[in-house]
């Protein structure tokens, strides 16, 4: 039995009549008895201080659990008021809050909660210290930085805003909905900690996003979202989208569910210091597809990005609905796991995935009884150290999740391919270069270089941070067929040849 399961920061839980040991036992063993409950206030007085982790290189200590902007904040059941969910997350000490321009009324619900919390700049009793203590993230699914783009079925450009034509419009829509009048006005001093280019799907989108960075920046032409968002971050107007030189956002990142190679490409093309955060799908069924944990996450971690996990319960597909995107209040899951898959080990799995700092989890409902309150249960489950789960335990959870719901990661778009061979091998002046291999269930360990059938060298695998800095091996001469082979931790091998 591990001894570092939960860290309570030397505080006692005096409100709830359950000890640490009993909580662990009960939350694991009695989820079968937890049924859908009506909304309560989810009393959270005197709960332990939440565990925090360093949020990449962002200079912020983030709570291991964050409040997701979907579930009842987006698809609100008739008997649920979403505002108390947000307020009780604050009471618990959660300091990361997630929403999006695609999430229905989610941003408007945050406005109602922020009004009660005195988080609206310019209003009487504005609590600037509280605002600085939390992290507010929103998202845009617009790839272009300016209006005037041509429709393309390979390029995502969508928002819930009727008049939104570009990523900059989405940022201002969030600000007016969360801090302003919902109709275009936002007060001076309103800002977002992070804006994510949401749900990256393919490298065609990456090409658009980097326009104006990898290509000449012409203010008279359209540009990708990244360079436009940089203007809103830095208070510059290099693109012409920020004539007032406003600083509306503090950090820029992206999110992805489906395509690890495209996400790696997104990170590796950032020669400009733009990307600082990443939201990524990660759950116990990750390895049933081309996985995130051995491919994208190590690259983002090595680059110092803040890493947020999502889809811990596969958008409820691990539980009560078929594998598809949620669409209505009926899709919102309002229980505490199931007997076959309690929620606690699923949360633990994602939080002990190396590199993950916090998890956004949507809340269906809260309740006075802590054993029936999703928010409290998830809070306690998230109090785990990064190494708080053994490799054997992680494997058991993977096997159980795959057995119960093998098709739950419907949103991951690339099937398992096994370990892939090194890519784009080049030879120039006695130097071989190649781009990273993609890992399967075991991480890549090293690369072998063979010439004429003879092993001439090995190169350790490390996360490749930039496409412009590939792996390399140099020798006095290369005579004969050249092979570069990737070898993973399980001994699997995949090779590429260069004649």
Predicted confidence (pLDDT) per residue in 193-246, tens digit = 999 999 999 999 999 999 999 999 998 899 999 999 999 999 999 999 999 999
DSSP string, 137-151: EEEEEE-BSSS-PPP
Check the CA dihedral 78-326-383-119 and report its sign.
negative
Six-digit token pair at 371? 């054993």
CA nearest 412: which of 268, 286, 252?
Answer: 286
The pLDDT of residue 219 = 86
The pLDDT of residue 45 = 60
34 pLDDT tier (thresholds 50, 70, 90): very low
Span 476-491, average pLDDT: 93
Question: What tens digit of pLDDT does each residue of 376-405 get?
Answer: 999 999 999 999 999 999 999 999 999 999
35 pLDDT tier (thresholds 50, 70, 90): very low
The pLDDT of residue 479 = 85
The pLDDT of residue 475 = 87
The pLDDT of residue 121 = 98
Q: How far apart are the first and last CA of the chain?
A: 54
Question: What tens digit of pLDDT does each residue of 321-376 get?
Answer: 999 999 999 999 999 999 999 999 999 999 999 999 999 999 999 999 999 999 99
pLDDT at residue 41 tops 50: no
Percent of the chain with pLDDT over 70: 91
Residue reference for tokens 């063993």: 29
Span 110-114, average pLDDT: 98
pLDDT at residue 170 tops 80: yes
Domains of the chain: 20-404 (3.20.20.100), 423-498 (2.60.40.10)
Question: What tens digit of pLDDT does each residue of 416-446 get?
Answer: 999 999 999 999 989 999 999 999 999 999 9
Our measurement of the distance from residue 406's CA atom to the centroid of its chain's CA atoms, rounded to an integer in Å, reads 22
Q: What value does the mean pLDDT of the chain take?
A: 91
Spell out the residues 6+ positions from residue 33 whose beta carbon is closer than 8 angstroms to its own.
none
Radius of gyration over every alpha carbon of the chain, rounded to an integer in angstroms: 24
C-alpha pair distances (Å), 68 with each of 136, 359, 361, 373, 419:
11, 8, 5, 16, 33
């Amino acid at each position: 039995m591990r001894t570092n399961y939960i860290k309570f920061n030397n505080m006692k839980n005096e409100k709830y009549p359950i000890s640490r040991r009993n909580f662990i036992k009960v939350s694991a063993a009695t989820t079968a008895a937890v049924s859908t409950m009506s909304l309560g206030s989810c009393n959270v007085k005197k709960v332990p201080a939440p565990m925090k982790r360093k949020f990449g290189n962002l200079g912020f200590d983030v709570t291991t659990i964050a409040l997701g902007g979907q579930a009842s904040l987006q698809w609100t059941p008739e008997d649920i008021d979403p505002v108390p969910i947000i307020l009780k997350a604050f009471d618990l000490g959660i300091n990361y809050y997630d929403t999006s321009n695609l999430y229905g009324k989610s941003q408007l619900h945050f406005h109602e909660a922020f009004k009660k919390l005195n988080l609206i700049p310019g209003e009487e009793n504005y609590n600037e210290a509280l605002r600085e203590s939390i992290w507010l993230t929103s998202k845009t699914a617009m790839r272009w930085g300016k209006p005037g783009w041509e429709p393309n079925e390979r390029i995502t450009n969508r928002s819930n805003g009727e008049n939104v034509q570009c990523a900059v419009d989405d940022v201002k829509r969030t600000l007016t909905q969360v801090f302003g009048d919902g109709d275009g006005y936002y007060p001076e001093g309103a800002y977002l900690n992070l804006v994510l280019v949401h749900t990256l799907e393919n490298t065609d989108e990456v090409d658009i996003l980097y326009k104006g960075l990898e290509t000449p920046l012409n203010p008279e032409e359209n540009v990708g979202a990244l360079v436009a968002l940089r203007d809103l971050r830095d208070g510059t107007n290099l693109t012409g989208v920020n004539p007032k030189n406003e600083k509306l956002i503090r950090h820029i990142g992206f999110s992805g569910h489906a395509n690890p190679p495209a996400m790696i490409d997104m990170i590796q093309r950032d020669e400009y210091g733009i990307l600082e955060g990443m939201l990524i799908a990660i759950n116990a069924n990750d390895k049933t597809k081309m996985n995130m944990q051995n491919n994208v996450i190590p690259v983002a971690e090595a680059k110092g990005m803040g890493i947020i996990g999502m889809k811990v319960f596969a958008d409820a597909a691990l539980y009560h609905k078929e594998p598809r995107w949620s669409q209505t209040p009926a899709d919102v899951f309002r229980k505490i796991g199931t007997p076959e898959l309690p929620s606690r080990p699923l949360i633990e799995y994602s939080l002990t995935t190396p590199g993950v700092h916090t998890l956004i989890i949507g809340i269906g409902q809260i309740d006075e009884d802590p054993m029936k309150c999703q928010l409290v249960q998830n809070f306690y489950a998230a109090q785990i150290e990064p190494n708080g789960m053994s490799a054997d335990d992680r494997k058991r959870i993977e096997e159980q999740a795959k057995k119960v719901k093998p098709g739950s990661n419907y949103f991951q778009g690339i099937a398992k391919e096994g370990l892939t061979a090194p890519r784009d091998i080049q030879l120039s002046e006695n130097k071989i270069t190649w781009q990273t291999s993609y890992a399967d269930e075991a991480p890549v360990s090293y690369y072998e270089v063979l010439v004429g059938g003879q092993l001439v060298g090995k190169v350790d695998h490390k996360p490749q941070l930039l496409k412009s800095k590939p792996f390399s091996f140099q020798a006095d001469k290369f005579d004969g067929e050249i092979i570069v082979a990737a070898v993973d931790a399980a001994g699997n091998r995949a090779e590429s040849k260069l004649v």
